[in-house]
């Protein structure tokens, strides 16, 4: 049985997040595997995979901030707001040449900070019990409600590139809150400039404090297994300490938390989620504030740290 913890996967293009979970189940030899934060098949980059009891951590990781690098193509809008969809509208030849860097920066500025974003119509959001993307692909028109998101960074990383006088490609970095659709940012940037826009590349580089630099591809993990080595799973306690503020419990507090009791919050961090460890460094629970006390959201058994 694998140790409980996180496996950081650098997802390759054309794999669904579910495909990755299925593959890890085979590599790890357990059915108890899940992921935090879906990536579209087109996208690459960081996917957090929980193994064994660490799947309990995923609930707390899904809502963490994300960082992406992407390429936005200005000059055409598509059904899916990315390169995989049919072109809905293409700007007139030569119109792209009129777009200056100053105009782009002004449009970017309107998409920074706390904004209301209409998700892409082919998102996984449920509408009348069906995923929005399924309804769109079935020929239905889907209109989703705007929702608040926070864009901490939306910057151009390189000189914009003109493509055959029809398109302008922008390489960008986006730091954002959970629930942000980068495809929708591409769509809205193109709309603001009057030329349409969609994504041609998307890569997730960070989820909270986890980096894709810590991750390996599925091929690399498969090679590790074929070499007779264990998967380099990040143990639950280390995984929790990397992302969350921590509280070290004394022996009596460990007993109290395991029995569903609350403990004083006096010296605890003010974070929404707090990782509670015993004096040996084992993960005991995830805690949350309740008035002047801390209560457990999830408790980990002693065996789950083995």
Residues designated catalytic: 40
What separation in angstroms does the CA of 146 have from each of 143, 179, 181, 196, 259? 9, 11, 11, 19, 42
User: For residue 93, how far is the Cα from the chain centroid?
Assistant: 36
Sorted by sequence, the CB contacts under 8 Å of residue 157 that are 6+ apart come out as 69, 171, 172, 173
Cα–Cα distance for residue pair 215/4, rounded to 1 Å: 17
Cα–Cα distance for residue pair 51/64, rounded to 1 Å: 19
The count of C-alpha atoms lying within 13 angstroms of the C-alpha of 155, restricted to the half-sphere facing its C-beta, is 7
**DSSP, residue by residue, 102-125:** HHHHHHHHTTSEEEEEPPPTTSS-
Cα–Cα distance for residue pair 96/197, rounded to 1 Å: 11
């Amino acid at each position: 049985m694998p140790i409980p913890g996180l496996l950081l996967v650098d997802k390759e293009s054309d794999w669904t997040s579910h495909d990755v979970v299925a593959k890890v189940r085979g590599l790890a030899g357990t059915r108890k595997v899940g992921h935090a934060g879906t990536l579209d098949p087109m996208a690459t980059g960081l996917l957090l995979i929980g193994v064994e009891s660490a799947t309990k951590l995923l609930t707390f990781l899904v809502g963490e901030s994300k960082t992406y690098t992407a390429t936005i193509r200005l000059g055409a809008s598509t059904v899916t707001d990315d390169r995989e969809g049919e072109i809905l509208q293409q700007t007139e030849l030569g119109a792209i040449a009129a777009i200056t860097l100053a105009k782009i920066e002004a449009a970017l500025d309107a998409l920074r900070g706390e904004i209301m974003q209409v998700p892409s119509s082919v998102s996984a959001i449920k509408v009348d019990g069906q995923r929005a993307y399924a309804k769109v692909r079935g020929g239905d028109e889907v209109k989703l409600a705007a929702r608040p998101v926070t864009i901490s960074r939306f910057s151009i990383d390189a000189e914009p590139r003109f493509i055959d006088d029809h398109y302008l490609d922008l390489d960008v970095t986006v730091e954002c809150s959970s629930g942000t659709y980068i495809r929708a940012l591409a769509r809205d940037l193109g709309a603001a400039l009057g030329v349409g826009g969609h994504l041609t590349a998307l890569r997730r580089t960070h989820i909270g404090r986890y980096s894709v630099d810590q991750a390996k591809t599925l091929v690399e993990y498969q090679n590790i297994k074929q070499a007779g080595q264990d998967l380099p799973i990040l143990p639950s306690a280390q995984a929790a300490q990397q992302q969350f503020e921590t509280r070290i419990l004394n022996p009596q507090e460990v007993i109290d938390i395991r029995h569903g009791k609350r403990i004083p919050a006096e010296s605890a961090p003010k974070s929404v989620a707090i990782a509670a460890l015993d004096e040996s460094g084992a993960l005991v629970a995830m805690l949350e504030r309740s008035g002047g006390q801390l209560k457990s959201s999830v408790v980990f058994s002693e065996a789950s740290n083995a």
